[in-house]
Amino acid sequence: MNGAKKGEKMVSEERLRLTFTDIAPQGDALARHDGEVVFAANGIPGEEAIVLAKRRKRYIVGEAVELLRESPHRIEARCPHFGKCSGCQWQHIDYPFQLALKRQMVVRQLRERGSFPDAPVLATLPAAEPWHYRNHARFSVDPQGQLGFVHKQTRNFVPIDFCHLMHPWINSVLAALQGKCAGAHQVAVRYGVNTGEQLIQPKLQQIDIPSGQPCYEEELLGRRFRISAPSFFQVNTPQAENLFNVLRDHLQPRGTELVIDVFAGVGTFATLLAPLVGRVIAVEEAAAAVKDAAVNITGLDNIEFLQGRAEEVLPRIEGVPDVAVLDPPRVGCHRRALAALLQLSPRRIIYVSCEPATLARDLKILCEGGYRLVAVQPVDMFPQTYHVECVATLVRGDISPDLVLASASPRRRELLFVLGLDFEAIAPPEDEPLPTDAENVERVAEQLALEKAEAVAKVAGHKTVVAADTVVIHRGTIMGKPRDDDEAQQMLRRLRGEEHIVITGVAVLSEGRSYIGHAATTVTMRHYSDEEVSAYIASGEALDKAGAYGIQDPLFAPAAEVDGCYLNVVGLPLCKLARMLREAGVSVGPRPLWALPPQCHECEGREGLLGD
């Protein structure tokens, strides 16, 4: 958002004292000044800072130059060029908070552009290595033959000797090429992380390193791919493998499906899916990618490649596919392609996107056309930047799930999606009264959950119903949800620096039988300030939570210590629920570790999710 648009008048800079409340779609911190929106580089939500700002016609842009209140998530940027080359936007933010911000950005785009008020967005899947992950670099070249990057707003050339995002081999090539590329406008360097193969374009005359290769090869999940110079391939090889794992998990292949892979590229998804399904029809427009794919699908006789634009090829496909996989460029899908897809009416659609805004737009069209959004999994393909990949799953609306969640809570819906189950959510008729029996609170929580399940079962028919109810106990007193801002403020101050217990009762109703249980977690709150409490109350996030707090809120982060199941505090202990569902005859397969929330990775009780 930095930089003036064409025709906008530049004005002198001014210093503004601002508090950042959110993150903008392009990665800047967001604030308001006299009703105007301010986009500031080098800021973090929750910080107060002096911003050196310039007014545009419709907004203000600037940079945080003096911190008055620093975020606990602020760290020292590794790169001396940070802020100058604009390739990274978030090196000053710790990695866990980057993941939280990316999920937050996806949620906002789905809400504002897609009209999904409570989109089922899971926690962002982290990269195992958030540095030196890029297998592809495109360097600009100055008249002296120096390689570097051009700042996207100022257009200033920044010479680069070392990039903390690039694979070490690319950095070694960068050092060898410096000052030897005069006459070239750009130099592209690509590296096969799993093969050791390389591609440098264009052909360079004054270097000893081979260059000008027409293609190179990379390997994903044991399968080799040829990629020619013009063809697209994911820049983060390990996360590309994880991305496919997410897609496969959402697709749930049974071995007989007809899958349409639209925007198939060099055949990455089609080739990896072919051994798992019955047949794949791949659609791709780019001639170079189709030529690569012809090599990559060697030995697989159940893939058919169709070259052409999606909006022109899809209407020619006959039959009803079981699954359609979409992986369009950043601009998203053409409306005619979406219309043709709706006409084909696959049972399930898996939409892979690198741009949350166009994803939200297209998901809205598909859901207005009769589909139901089941889950959205952000995947961090691009650490240290605001960019995020998403895998969204939709199911045709006439396919009714056999599982019902008796809850209106977005958090419980988000958690239940982690189990990989398709379900619908039905809110109980009305909120339960606040229990008063603190002596038998476990039994009370279980009973409240059972009553919710029974109420929803009356309208759900013969489907399996899941319900939960959370009770918070502090010094022997049961705490309920605050009714207004004053109550929320009182509760948060009461809990400050104190220990309390969170108990969640869980109930499953299936085929006339009931299964009940509970989980208990002890939480110790940190000594947060009154100012932090006021800021959290002002966000509107405190009023729908027992005990007036959200342990998962990335800005407030009120808990100093959690002893027991973290997900229980959020509202649904998945390990307990998974065992209960299996006991009730619902198929809950073992979940891969990457699919679980980060808080589960070190938890001793996660065996219930990984498989008993």
Burial 484-499 (b: 16+ CB within 10 A, else e): eeeebbebbebbbeee
Residues 6+ apart with CB under 8 A from 363: 110, 114, 116, 351, 373, 392, 394
Same domain, 46 and 99: no
d(CA 438, CA 486): 24
3-state secondary structure of 573: coil
Same domain, 293 and 429: no
Q: Domain end: 74, 107, 134, which one?
A: 74
d(CA 123, CA 414): 9
d(CA 229, CA 234): 13
Six-digit token string for 469: 């109810």
Query: What are the pLDDT digits (tens) for 19-54?
Result: 999 999 999 999 999 889 999 999 999 999 999 999
Same domain, 133 and 90: yes
Residue 144 lies in a domain: yes
Give catalytic residue positions: 354
Same domain, 61 and 83: no
User: 10 Å Cβ neighbour count for 500?
Assistant: 19
Query: What are the pLDDT digits (tens) for 56-65?
Result: 888 899 999 9
3-state secondary structure of 199: strand
Q: Domain end: 74, 90, 106, which one?
A: 74
Same domain, 257 and 354: yes
Six-digit token string for 76: 């020292």
Six-digit token string for 207: 């270097």
Same domain, 91 and 65: no
Same domain, 324 and 283: yes
Six-digit token string for 57: 């016609």
3-state secondary structure of 271: helix
H-run or E-run covering 110: helix 95-112
Residue 443 lies in a domain: yes
Q: Are strands 499-510 and 464-474 parallel, antiparallel or unpaired?
A: antiparallel
Same domain, 122 and 48: no
Q: If pLDDT is split at 50, 70 and 90, which confidence band does 132 have?
A: very high
Query: What are the pLDDT digits (tens) for 228-278?
Result: 999 999 999 999 999 999 999 999 899 999 999 999 999 999 999 999 999
Same domain, 9 and 44: yes
Domain containing residue 182: CATH number: 3.40.50.150
Domain of 471 in residue numbering reads as: 419-610
Written as one string, the DSSP assignment of 57-89 is SS-EEEEEEEEEE--TTB---S-TTTTTS-S-S
Same domain, 433 and 559: yes
Instruction: Give the best-scoring range by mean pLDDT among 147-161, 270-284, 394-408.
Output: 270-284
Six-digit token string for 313: 């090829």
Residue 412 lies in a domain: no
H-run or E-run covering 457: helix 441-460
Q: Which of 205-219, 355-369, 536-550 has the lowest mean pLDDT?
A: 536-550
Residue 187 lies in a domain: yes
Same domain, 143 and 24: no
Residue 328 lies in a domain: yes
Q: What is the pLDDT of residue 1?
A: 43
Q: If pLDDT is split at 50, 70 and 90, which confidence band does 436 have?
A: low
Domain containing residue 44: CATH number: 2.40.50.140
Residue 437 lies in a domain: yes
Total domains in the chain come to: 3
Residue 409 lies in a domain: no
Query: What are the pLDDT digits (tens) for 191-226?
Result: 999 999 999 999 998 888 999 999 999 999 999 999
Written as one string, the DSSP assignment of 366-419 is HHHTTEEEEEEEEE-SSTTSS--EEEEEEEETTS--SEEE----HHHHHHHHTT
Residue 405 lies in a domain: no
Same domain, 94 and 174: yes
Q: What is the pLDDT of residue 450?
A: 94
Domain containing residue 480: CATH number: 3.90.950.10
Looking at the DSSP bridge assignments, the partners of residue 279 are 258
Q: If pLDDT is split at 50, 70 and 90, which confidence band does 86 have?
A: confident
H helix count then E strand count, the chain: 15, 27
